[in-house]
Amino acid sequence: MTLYIDPGTGSMLFTILIGIIGAGFYSLRMLWIKLRFKISGGKIRESGEKIPFVIFSDDKRYWPVFEPICCEMNRRNRDVVYMTASEDDPALESAYPHIKAEFIGKGNRAFARLNFLSAVIVLSTTPGLDVYQWKRSKDVRYYVHIPHAASEITMYRMFGIDYYDALLLSGEYQARDIRALEELRGLPEKDLVQVGIPYMDEMSKKLERLGPAPEHPRTVLLAPSWGPSAIFSVYGGKILDVLLKTNCHIIVRPHPQSFTSEKEMLEKLMKDYPASERLEWNRDIDNFEVLRRSDILISDFSGVIFDFSLVYNKPVIYTDPQFDVSPYDAWWLKTPLWTRSALPRLGRQLTNENMEHLQELIDTCLTDPQYAEGRRSIKEETWAHVGEGAKRVVDYLLNQYEKLTSAETAPSDEKTE
């Protein structure tokens, strides 16, 4: 007889196990510290053993989010331990002398390491702190979250960022929604700081340095997200059939998670629509070049919409954003998603009814001046402090570190009785 444990129960059992192990580990650790304190005559301080700054990345694709911050910390000669759950994370090969990158295992192994971490500040883009497997360590003073896209802060799974101490934001609408959630849930106010978007700053600098892509045929980038509301789940291969009828070159760049969660569907699509002179499938880790050589983007609720429209200043075609918000923090709010008001200003909506006229939609988006004006207004709303993101993030981290450590009592030269 095979014993089956569903994922929810498994997560609960893992959490209980981690709690038991954590309590025992913490008790033994405190006992050891007290013994050292007595032996040393009161000169040993636990705070001196904490790592000043830790960055945690649950996937290698977030290195572009963190690299500008690492570069700025390195420029200021501040040491950072970069913990990653990807054994092929580009951070492991980075040349920044003050950034020590290490692979800490995947999944539960990584979270088990984080749950016993001793650090002053942890910066991460990973939601779910103190909700599922990742628990707040008793030996971490302060947890800081930075989003990985310029869009909704409430489109994480429920309670995804409730237990962070601070959020580094890029738009006022994000702060408004967080304050509303805190009030609804009776949570203490987090530190909300508008810092901008460091990775988009870097994309802009790189684009300015390299200039537009060399001359090429009109190119459409199809970049769906993943899940039941995403383009391929809703339209299947129909959208590729229609795109192949246009006069455009087509690049298809599925969300990385699709290759895991929707593997069979993608494999069938790639078999039915193989690469050709008209169509290519793209899986580059860095999306800079594929965005640069595309003239228009077709997507759904992916954050790449804002990268493409705001950094590259190009129009988009988007699918119906009326998807089910019940699993997400946004479900709690009475105000509509900001994205729903933003998308019509960036381009045209694609529906089953107008899909056969996709060529006309493409032509309109590329020529109508209203979308250029829309991009300007959206940039003002969701990209604060353009060009200053990494500097402002590091300024905040260093200032917060000083606040957290300045209250600690300096070690006494006299023996404590």
* Distance between CA atoms of residues 239 and 257, nearest Å: 20
> Which amino acid is it at 50?
K
Token representation of residue 343: 């998308």
Q: Do 180 and 333 form a contact (C-beta atoms < 8 A)?
A: yes
- State pTM to two decimals: 0.82
Q: Do 356 and 242 form a contact (C-beta atoms < 8 A)?
A: yes
Q: Do 292 and 314 form a contact (C-beta atoms < 8 A)?
A: no
Which residues are CB-neighbours of 207 under 8 A, at least 6 positions away?
A: 288, 292, 311, 312
* Distance between CA atoms of residues 274 and 402, nearest Å: 56
Range 347-365 burial, b when 16+ CB lie within 10 A, else e = bbebeeeebeebeebbebb
Per-residue pLDDT of the chain (417 residues; tens, 9 = 90+): 444 444 445 555 555 555 555 445 544 544 544 454 444 443 334 445 799 999 999 999 899 999 999 999 999 999 999 999 999 999 999 999 999 999 999 999 999 999 999 999 999 999 999 998 999 999 999 999 999 988 899 999 999 999 999 999 999 999 999 999 999 999 999 999 999 999 999 999 999 999 999 999 999 999 998 888 889 999 999 999 999 999 999 999 999 889 999 999 999 999 999 999 999 999 987 899 999 999 999 998 788 999 999 999 999 999 876 667 889 999 999 998 999 899 999 999 999 899 999 999 999 999 999 999 999 999 999 999 999 999 999 999 999 999 999 966 445 444 443
> Which amino acid is it at 271?
K
Q: Report the C-alpha dihedral over residues 382, 329, 352, 365, rounded to 10 degrees.
A: 0
Query: In 10 A of CB 332, how many CB atoms?
Result: 15
* Distance between CA atoms of residues 128 and 73, nearest Å: 26
Determine if residue 227 is left, alpha or beta; phi over 0 gives left, psi from -120 to 50 gives alpha, anything else beta: left
